[in-house]
Amino acid sequence: MIYCPKCGTANRQGSKFCNECGAPLPATGLRCPMCGAMNPAGNLYCDRCSARLIPAERVPPEEEKPERPSPPKGISLPSVPLGEEEWLSELRAEALDLAPEEETPGWPGELEAPSEPPTPEVTIPEWLAELEVPAASPTPEAQPPEAAIPEWLVELEAPVAPPTPEAPPPESAIPEWLVGLEAPAAPPAPEAPPPESAIPEWLVGLEAPAAPPAPEAQPPEAAIPEWLVGLEETVPEAPPPAEKPTPPLAGIPVPPSGEIPEWLRDVEFAPPIQEEPSAQPPPVAEVDVHAGMPSASTTVPPILVVGEEEILSTAPAEIPDWLKEAPAEAPPEYGGLVPAEIPEWLRPLQPREGVAVEEEPTETEGFLSGLRGLLPIGKGLDMPATAQPLLPRAPRPAAVARAELLQGLLSRPLITPPTAEIREAPRQSGWVLTRFLVGVILLAAILLPMLVRLPLFGPPTAPTAEALFATVNHLPGNTPVLIAWEYGPAESDEMDRVAGPLIEHLLRREARLIVVSTRMEGPAAAEALLASRLVDPSERSERIANLGYLPGQAAGVREALGNLGGRTEAMTGLPASQLDIMADVHSIADVGMVVILAAQPDDLKTWLEQISVANPNVPVVAGVSARIELISTPYLAAGQLRGMVAGLTGGAVYERQLDTGWGREYEYYLTSLGMAQLAIAALTVIGALIFLVGGRKR
Amino acid sequence: MTADLIGLIAGTLLTLLVLSYILGDNPLYRLALHMLVGATVGYGVAVTTVTVLQTVLPALQSDSPDRVRALIPLVLGILLLFKGFPRWSAWGNFSTALLVGVGAAVAMGGALVGTIIPQTAAVGSLNVWLREGSAGLINGLIVMIGTIGALLAFAFAVPRQPALRRLWNGSVGVLGQMGRLFLLAALGAAFGTALTASLTVLVGRVYAVVTGIQQLLTLIGMSSG
């Protein structure tokens, strides 16, 4: 349920607007970061995709620096109405205070796992590897990645390494003797220079002075060490600069004192492999970098080795004397490699040992299960986006009442279908006896006039029947009269007493009767009555044409009214056009009068309406059942019907006017009908009294 | 034994079977009911066949222009038969549309010209009032009030504003109550006329049964007629 903040009405979960007042409802619930489905507040997992809705929170240790919450990518936080969450802004301000801008986020360090040394193959700049060759120590394994400066390296960057003799000074700390070497000559490209982007900035300064001077370049006087001055005259003319890149050795700084530094001694004692004749250096490694140096007796090319991998072999060259004079110290061998010591200035670059690495929290649930180092959720963000201040006031009594009413309705037991009771009721003997008594009473009321033969009721009156009698009485002889016979055997007990006197009157007036019907049983019912009223059956073909059934309801009537001559006589099967009675009758316009004998209201209306459309001037009279007497009266009042005989009463009136000899039967019928009506009225009153007195209790 | 006598006896028996329903649902009543339904359907099929097919088929065999005119309804009728097969029922859509459309148009035109306009004119006609005098005027007022009241009897909505609600209850509500009275009177009268028609049929059936029994007694010589 979501309670409306405006009126307090309880609304269905997930509603956006209040059902009572239409006010927008606060969005409660959690939106799944994976499928976007809304979930009820309190869900840990999505109902649709079972993704975790609230990331697991890791409580950082106290000594850990507070981290600035970085914007999580790919995670949709619970939707919160904007502008309403003060706590969120407070948390954000607090987090900003705790985490200074300059501080590097801690999460990269966590991801790097500093306890594990990086792989050396791809991270060591080549020129730096050369420096480490003599050492043959595991130091290269601790080299940071090429593209990223590790944290322990960053820390070393700001405080410049102490100016040890071996340490490559930064650019600002380049000794003067190196500065002189750097300026004059454009250094040839090294064989495999590290990409510019891969060189740490503080090492760039070291790389530049390492370039050897071009052979033609003359260093300034002040920059030439003394031990090189003597060699200057004896140096032959330098060959043209090699097209191939300069070997990395050219970058090694030379101490100004003329002494061989330790790192140069290491280079000198690198284990050569000249004993193996097949170990010819690859041509790509041939660099004539020592061309200007004194020739040496040995022609063994120096081979730089890192570990067991040969990474560089220079072209055969003579070892200069100053290299030969270098003190030969027998380094201890270690597996064929020369152990070396990490220079002091490189030692800070090593990964710190003994630093306890905190175990990364591992996700154990959801689609991220098994992953480590997930971002912990910031404080406050793990809370669902339910707007606590908006949550409920007390619901209104009206809403509570409606809810209770609904709950009561829903908790009611289902109403059993009353079919069983209905079926059981007739089986009760009292009900059967009641029905039998009613039937007996009605039969007695109907049969009593036949036995007693007493005129219990006076002569009936029916002004409409009298008007109809007058209309027919003024009808000229041999007038074609269209009769719509719209009743069947089911209604013939009543309608025959209505239509009989009227048909006989028409026959007496020597009218030509053209019978049609929109009911399938109509023509047969008409034929039975006509046969009973026709005095001379041989005159039938001259007086009566039964055109039969008109299919199509209103459309059929409309069609027949316009094409009476195109139909077929139902009894003889002859076309109407071949009948003498239909010789001058082709449509409704040729008819002198229309008689509608209807037991159902729709039949009367259909004929009246279609006649009004086809030929409104033709006089229309009707003989109808008592059932539709009320419906027929307005047409009579409006003049659309010139006269009407309704029910047994109207037939009796017409019969009395016509005096056909059927009056006695009508008298019996009327007496029986009156008695039956009285019986029905009496039974109704008795039943009402029984209900009021005793049956009401049930 | 003539056909009329057989018909009279059969009619008497069937009437007694139907009237046995007064004792509740029973097999005799069911038998009469099934016979009535079966006879009605069979008679309908026969009448339709004779009336429709015997009119159309001879026209198709002739050389007159009626041949083409008879062919169109025949084709439409055949297409209508496809309505009995769900897979092919779409073939009968045009015929159905023609029937419904033409029937509705004819009925609507007839209702407008034959009922609505004449009845409205008759109620408001000054000639009727003048012809029938004060009775006609009163009758017209009653009809008008009854019609409006019956329509307003089905107005269940009320305005929200209290003032309009009071005005509504004082006008529309009163007319609606009067309309309900008119409806009660009309329904009572309709029930009375329907009951009268049904009792008339019952009287006719009882007389038919009595007449049939007398005929049977005459036939077997137990009655002098």
Residue type, A43: N
| Site from A422, A437, A494 to mutate, B interface, most B CB atoms within 10 angstroms | A494
pLDDT at A264: 54
Q: What is the mean pLDDT of residues B186-206?
A: 91
Which of B22, B54, B193 comes nearest A626 by C-beta? B193
pLDDT at B178: 92
Which of A630, A634, A680 comes nearest B189 by C-beta? A630
With an 8 Å Cβ cutoff, are B23 and A432 in contact? yes
Residue A465 pLDDT exceeds 60: yes
Taking only Cα atoms into account, the Rg of chain B, rounded to an integer number of angstroms, comes to 28
Confidence category of residue A625, pLDDT binned at 50, 70, 90: very high
For A127-160, how does the pLDDT look when each residue is reduced to its tens digit (9 = 90+)? 555 554 444 444 444 444 444 455 555 554 444 4
With an 8 Å Cβ cutoff, are A552 and B47 in contact? no
Residue type, A622: A
Residue A334 DSSP label: B
With an 8 Å Cβ cutoff, are B107 and A446 in contact? no
Q: Which residues are CB-contacts of A626 (< 8 A; sequence separation ≥ 6)? A: A494, A646, A647, A648, A649, B193, B194, B196, B197, B200
With an 8 Å Cβ cutoff, are A647 and B196 in contact? yes
Supply φ then ψ for residue A455, to 5 degrees.
Answer: -75, 90
pLDDT at A207: 47
The answer to whether position A1 is within a domain reads no
pLDDT at A380: 59
The answer to whether position A68 is within a domain reads no
Residue A5 DSSP label: T
Q: What is the mean pLDDT of residues A544-554?
A: 89
Identify the CA nearest to A101 among candidates A72, A70, A74, A75. A70
Q: What is the mean pLDDT of residues A500-517?
A: 92
Is pLDDT larger for residue A380 or for residue A548? A548
The answer to whether position A15 is within a domain reads no
Spatial contact of A475 and A593, defined as CB atoms under 8 Å apart: yes
Strand partners, A545: A514
With an 8 Å Cβ cutoff, are B196 and A442 in contact? no
DSSP run (H or E) holding A10:
strand A10-11
For A314-332, how does the pLDDT look when each residue is reduced to its tens digit (9 = 90+)? 444 556 666 655 555 555 5
Give the tokens for residue A197.
Answer: 């982007």
Q: Which residues of A touch B107 (CB under 8 A)?
A: 553-554, 606, 609
Q: Which residues of A touch B119 (CB under 8 A)?
A: 634-635, 638
The answer to whether position A45 is within a domain reads no
Q: What does the alpha-carbon distance between residue B62 and residue B66 come to, in Å, rounded to a whole number?
A: 8
Supply φ then ψ for residue A16, to 5 degrees.
Answer: -100, -25
Print the domain residue range for A504.
463-672
Q: Tokens 């022609």 map to which residue?
A: A299
For B163-182, how does the pLDDT look when each residue is reduced to its tens digit (9 = 90+)? 888 888 888 889 999 999 99
Residue A568 DSSP label: B
Q: Which of A296, A319, A349 is the last residue of a domain?
A: A349
Distance from CA of B190 to the nearest CA of A (A): 7
Pairing of strands A30-31, A10-11: unpaired
Highest mean pLDDT (candidates A382-391, A642-651, B5-14):
A642-651
The answer to whether position A180 is within a domain reads yes
Q: Which of A349, A375, A395 is the last residue of a domain?
A: A349
pLDDT at B71: 85
Q: Which residues of A touch B118 (CB under 8 A)?
A: 612, 635, 638-640
Which of A553, A573, A672 comes nearest B203 by C-beta? A672
pLDDT at A604: 94
DSSP A243-311: SSPBPGGGG----TTSPPPHHHHHHHTS---TT-TT-PPPGGG---TTTTSPP-S--PPPEEEETTEEE
DSSP strand E in A573-664: where?
593-598, 620-624, 643-646
With an 8 Å Cβ cutoff, are B107 and A549 in contact? no
Domain extent listing, chain B: 1-61, 137-225
Mean pLDDT of the residues in chain A: 69
The answer to whether position A54 is within a domain reads no
pLDDT at A227: 57
Helix A492-508 and helix A522-533: axis angle, to 10°?
Answer: 50
With an 8 Å Cβ cutoff, are B210 and A680 in contact? no
Residues in chain B, how many?
225
Q: What does the alpha-carbon distance between residue A529 and residue A489 come to, in Å, rounded to a whole number?
A: 11
Cα–Cα separations (whole angstroms), residue A150 to A145, A353, A375: 7, 15, 20
Q: Which of A310, A326, A349 is the last residue of a domain?
A: A349
For A274-314, how does the pLDDT look when each residue is reduced to its tens digit (9 = 90+)? 444 444 444 444 444 444 444 444 444 444 444 444 444 44
The answer to whether position A91 is within a domain reads no
Confidence category of residue B211, pLDDT binned at 50, 70, 90: confident
When divided into structural domains, chain A yields a total of 2
Q: Are residues A654 and A532 in the same domain?
A: yes
Chain A, chain B: beta-carbon pairs less than 8 Å apart? 158
| Site from B199, B211, B214 to mutate, A interface, most A CB atoms within 10 angstroms | B199
Q: What does the alpha-carbon distance between residue A438 and residue A422 come to, in Å, rounded to a whole number?
A: 20
Which of B54, B107, B128 comes nearest A554 by C-beta? B107
Largest Cα span, chain A: 173
Pairing of strands A10-11, A303-306: unpaired
How large is the ipTM?
0.85
Residue A39 DSSP label: E
Pairing of strands A303-306, A38-39: unpaired
Q: Which residues of A touch B195 (CB under 8 A)?
A: 677, 680
Is pLDDT larger for residue B224 or for residue A344? A344
Cα–Cα separations (whole angstroms), residue B59 to A423, A587, A614, B98, B200: 56, 21, 26, 22, 45
With an 8 Å Cβ cutoff, are A640 and B118 in contact? yes
